Amino acid sequence: MDCDDYLNNLASLFCDSEMDLEKISKAVYQTLDAIGEDPNREGLVDTPKRVSKAYQELLSGYRTDPKKLINNALFDVKYDEMVIVRDIEFYSLCEHHMLPFLGRAHVAYIPTKKVIGLSKIPRIVDMFSRRLQVQERLTQQIAEFINVVLEPEGVGVVVEAMHMCSMIRGVKKHDSRMTTSSMVGVFRDNISTRMEFLNSISRGAQSLHF
């Protein structure tokens, strides 16, 4: 995949319109009314506006410009060992219930010619997690982005998360942890590369809890 095409496509999808906070506020007002609440009582009167602001923040990934994100952060380096950034905290909203899922992402790649500034990797995770998501797609999108932008020998992404929608509703499994992974290039083809990554992220790892 051509990097410019990929980034243009990603940018055009998400960066050209403002979130309609007024419309969200109206919908929240109607939701409160539909629940049987009084949307005009003191505690709720500002809630529609607050909820719209909260969505603006929680879903800010749609308006993160991927080109700006990587601008001036790609470096030509002769380095061909594995780069690992582990325990990147993230939160997201599941697209089925609009309830939070949150946890940690671990990202690794083996550069060929380019590396990306270390602080950018958590921002890539944020760009894709602060959207309505499913964990599997989030995992793949992070891996794909790094693969297209850096053209590395391979990328590995592991995401561990807890899902509110299954913890507090439905079957109420309070310990609803899920782990997903996306392995590209040598991380897929070479078992010792994959094991090096997986061993590294499990070393001293603490289980997710609240």
Q: Given the rule CB under 5 A, which of 32-40, 58-66, 93-101, 126-134 is the region that contacts Zn ion?
A: 93-101
- Check residue 97 for interaction with Zn ion (CB under 5 A): yes
Secondary structure class of 75 (helix, strand, coil): strand
How many residues make contact with Zn ion (CB under 5 A)?
Answer: 4
> Does residue 96 belong to the site contacting Zn ion (CB under 5 A)?
yes
Contact yes or no for 39/33 (Cβ under 8 A): yes
Q: Which of 102, 165, 178, 208 lies at the binding interface for Zn ion (CB under 5 A)?
A: 165
Residue 167 binds to Zn ion (criterion: CB under 5 A):
no
The CA-atom distances, in angstroms, between 205 and each of 33, 94, 101, 164, 195 are 45, 25, 19, 22, 15
Instruction: Judge whether 165 counts as a catalytic residue.
Output: yes
112 vs 21: CA distance, rounded Å:
44
- The answer to whether residue 95 is catalytic is yes
H/E stretch holding 18 = none
Tokens 């693969």 -> residue: 147
- As measured in angstroms, the least distance from the Cβ of 160 to Zn ion is 16
Cα 46 to Cα 26, 99, 111: the distances in Å are 12, 21, 49
Find the catalytic residue in 15, 56, 165, 196: 165
Closest residue to Zn ion, judged by C-beta, is 165
Catalytic, out of 141, 144, 160, 163 = 163
- Residues forming contacts to Zn ion in the complex (CB under 5 A) are 94, 96-97, 165
- Residues that are catalytic: 94-97, 135, 163, 165
